[in-house]
């Protein structure tokens, strides 16, 4: 999340860079510009020749209602508390702590040097779509290039796919806890959002499948889920996928699967179960993905989605007025990432698994880590004994111990009893941070 310069060799100050305008400043700037706008569009006496009695009211900061009701980022709220401090141990951002592998970086530089600086096809360069088709066919079922749309980041894939599917007023169901961006997207589109919470039990997070199927009544447009899940690490089982697919087929409901962490899965095989393994090309299934996590490419902003071919063709038309296409040289990086040595993905998975084991070693015996995550690089720490809600706890931990975590409420009220740590930090920082957290909670 370094917004201001070249990738630093040490990422420890990414989120405390003083150049980043804090939210309060941004609000002040927006308010000042709205005031200017108000002054400039007020009817002027000199124009009409007479002073008007009645003032026309021009609303200030008038975004449409579904945007006005968006929840401000809780992570940002917390981040503002830590602004200016350079001594924080940071576990809040889901971002690897080392730069993109060299062979991928070189591909981006070579592309730029070769002058590949032009618009591409809306759905991406054919070479990248071919490479994705081969890669996904190896990982899942045969996937044709016509089923693939390359996007400008994973989050752009989420927005594009949602715009393809969801009209205002339509009903969507989300399995929560869920990454906040994914919660907000259907709301931005004016959807009517209902949630089904994973159940927290000592054995782990569990999906109550019957409850989910009940919620997926006929007329529901889509079900949104993310597995392996940010923040819980919960991963849907193959049996649950089959039952969900059968139900959605029966009722014409779209399955919207965010597979961002499918390669960061710690159980056998190293690839999480995906709907792409069991669905047909013509099923109502959209799988979204990103290069950010598996190839350490967060700053590149490259993602993709897989969907039925006729929908991909429409995605091209839709992408034109949005970003038109992903950046040409970035796409070259993606092509090389898929075609180059794949050991790097295995190495990252092993690294994060080892770090997860550090979390288990430090927090496991205390009972503060009730669930060992099966995938992604997050762990939820139980703060129940603090008596505080997750936001108050995260703020006080930040101020007292300089440890930056994300309040569980960010992912929905059902996870307010937890804070999330991203175990992407180097071993020593990770241990120190976990020990401070343990001491703070247990005394
Ligand atoms: C669950 C989930 N989906 C999608 C993304 C999107 O990743 P990006 O926009 O970096 O490609 C993220 C990033 O943190 C995520 O956590």
Tell me, what's the pLDDT at 71? 77
**For residue 66, is pLDDT > 90?**
no
Average pLDDT value for residue range 41-57: 48
Tell me, what's the pLDDT at 11? 37
Tell me, what's the pLDDT at 158? 98
**For residue 50, is pLDDT > 90?**
no
Q: Quote the distance between the C-alpha of residue 96 and its chain's center.
A: 14
CATH number of 102-339: 3.40.640.10
Tell me, what's the pLDDT at 342? 85
pLDDT for 360-396, tens place per residue? 999 989 989 988 999 999 999 999 999 999 999 999 9
Domain ranges of the chain: 18-62, 74-99+343-442, 102-339
The finding on whether 288 has its CB within 6 A of some atom of ligand 1 is no
Tell me, what's the pLDDT at 253? 98
Task: State the Cα–Cα distance between residues 135 and 131, nearest whole angstrom.
Answer: 6
Ligand 1 pocket mutation pick from 293, 377, 415 by most atoms within 8 angstroms of CB:
293
**For residue 428, is pLDDT > 80?**
yes
Q: 196: burial class by Cβ within 10 Å (0-12, 13-18, 19+)?
A: buried
CA of residue 42 to ligand 1 center, whole Å: 43
| Cis previous bond, 86, omega within 30 | no
CA of residue 230 to ligand 1 center, whole Å: 9
CA of residue 176 to ligand 1 center, whole Å: 15
CB 7 within 8 A of CB 109: no
Q: What confidence tier does 61 reach under pLDDT thresholds 50, 70, 90?
A: low
Paired sense of beta strands 222-226 and 254-258, if any:
parallel
pLDDT for 124-153, tens place per residue? 999 999 999 999 999 999 999 999 999 999
Q: Which carries the bigger pLDDT value, residue 423 or residue 69?
A: 423
Ligand 1 atom nearest the C-alpha of 302 is 11
List, in sequence order, every beta strand (DSSP E) within 158-264.
171-176, 192-197, 199-201, 204-206, 222-226, 254-258
Average pLDDT value for residue range 2-28: 37
Q: What confidence tier does 44 reach under pLDDT thresholds 50, 70, 90?
A: very low
Q: What confidence tier does 5 reach under pLDDT thresholds 50, 70, 90?
A: very low
CB 432 within 8 A of CB 397: no
pTM confidence score: 0.86
Task: State the Cα–Cα distance between residues 264 and 132, nearest whole angstrom.
Answer: 18
Task: State the Cα–Cα distance between residues 295 and 304, nearest whole angstrom.
Answer: 14
* Of 88, 83, 177, residue with least CA distance to 418: 177
Paired sense of beta strands 199-201 and 204-206, if any:
antiparallel
Beta bridge mates, 285: 255
Ligand 1 pocket mutation pick from 150, 175, 176, 230 by most atoms within 8 angstroms of CB:
230
CA of residue 154 to ligand 1 center, whole Å: 5
Tell me, what's the pLDDT at 187? 94
Q: What confidence tier does 73 reach under pLDDT thresholds 50, 70, 90?
A: confident
Percent with pLDDT over 90 in the chain: 74
CATH number of 74-99+343-442: 3.90.1150.10
Task: State the Cα–Cα distance between residues 259 and 225, nearest whole angstrom.
Answer: 9
CA of residue 179 to ligand 1 center, whole Å: 8
CB 89 within 8 A of CB 310: no
Ligand 1 atom nearest the C-alpha of 178 is 1
The finding on whether 233 has its CB within 6 A of some atom of ligand 1 is no
Task: State the Cα–Cα distance between residues 195 and 410, nearest whole angstrom.
Answer: 14
The finding on whether 226 has its CB within 6 A of some atom of ligand 1 is yes
Q: What confidence tier does 45 reach under pLDDT thresholds 50, 70, 90?
A: very low
The finding on whether 260 has its CB within 6 A of some atom of ligand 1 is yes
Query: How far, in Å, are 28, 74, 307 from residue 61 at the CA level?
Result: 11, 21, 37
List the end-to-end C-alpha distance of the chain, in Å, as a whole number: 33
pLDDT for 249-299, tens place per residue? 999 999 999 999 999 999 988 999 999 999 999 999 999 999 999 999 999
Task: State the Cα–Cα distance between residues 12 and 14, nearest whole angstrom.
Answer: 6
**For residue 85, is pLDDT > 90?**
no
Q: What confidence tier does 303 reach under pLDDT thresholds 50, 70, 90?
A: very high
| Cis previous bond, 228, omega within 30 | yes
């Amino acid at each position: 999340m370094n917004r201001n310069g070249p990738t630093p060799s040490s990422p420890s100050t990414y989120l405390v860079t003083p150049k980043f305008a804090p939210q309060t400043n941004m609000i002040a700037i927006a308010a000042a510009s709205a005031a200017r706008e108000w002054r400039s569009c007020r009817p002027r006496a000199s124009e009409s020749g007479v002073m008007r009695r009645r003032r026309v009211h021009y609303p200030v900061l008038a975004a449409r209602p579904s945007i006005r009701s968006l929840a401000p980022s809780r992570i940002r709220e917390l981040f503002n508390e830590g602004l200016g401090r350079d001594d924080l141990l940071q576990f809040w951002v889901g971002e690897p702590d080392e730069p993109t592998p060299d062979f991928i970086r070189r591909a981006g530089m070579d592309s730029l040097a070769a002058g590949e600086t032009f618009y591409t096809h809306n759905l991406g360069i054919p070479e990248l779509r071919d490479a994705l088709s081969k890669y996904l066919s190896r990982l899942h079922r045969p996937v044709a290039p016509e089923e693939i749309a390359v996007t400008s980041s994973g989050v752009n894939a989420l927005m594009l796919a949602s715009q393809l599917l969801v009209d205002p007023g339509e009903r969507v169901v989300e399995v929560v806890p869920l990454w906040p961006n994914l919660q907000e997207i259907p709301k931005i589109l004016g959807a009517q959002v209902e949630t089904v919470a994973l159940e927290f039990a000592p054995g782990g997070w569990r999906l109550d499948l019957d409850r989910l199927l009940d919620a997926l009544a006929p007329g529901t447009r889509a079900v949104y889920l993310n597995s392996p899940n940010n923040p819980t690490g919960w991963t849907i089982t193959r049996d649950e996928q089959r039952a969900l697919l059968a139900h959605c087929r029966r009722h014409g409901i779209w399955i919207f699967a965010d597979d961002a962490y499918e390669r960061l899965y710690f159980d056998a095989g190293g690839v999480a179960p995906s709907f792409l393994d069991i669905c047909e090309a013509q099923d109502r299934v959209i799988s979204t993905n990103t290069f950010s996590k598996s190839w350490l490419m967060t700053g590149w902003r490259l993602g993709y989605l897989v969907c039925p071919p006729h929908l991909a063709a429409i995605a091209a038309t839709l992408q034109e007025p949005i970003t038109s296409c992903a950046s040409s040289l970035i796409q070259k990086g993606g092509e090389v990432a898929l075609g180059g040595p794949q050991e790097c993905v295995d190495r990252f998975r092993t690294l994060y698994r080892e770090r997860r084991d550090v979390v288990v070693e430090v927090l496991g015996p205390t009972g503060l880590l009730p669930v060992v995550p099966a995938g992604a690089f997050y762990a939820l720490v139980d703060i129940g004994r603090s008596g505080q809600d997750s936001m108050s706890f995260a703020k006080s931990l930040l101020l007292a111990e300089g440890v930056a975590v994300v309040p569980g409420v960010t992912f929905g009220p059902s996870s307010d009893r937890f804070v999330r740590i991203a175990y992407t930090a180097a071993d020593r920082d990770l241990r120190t941070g976990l020990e401070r957290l343990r001491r703070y909670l247990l005394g």
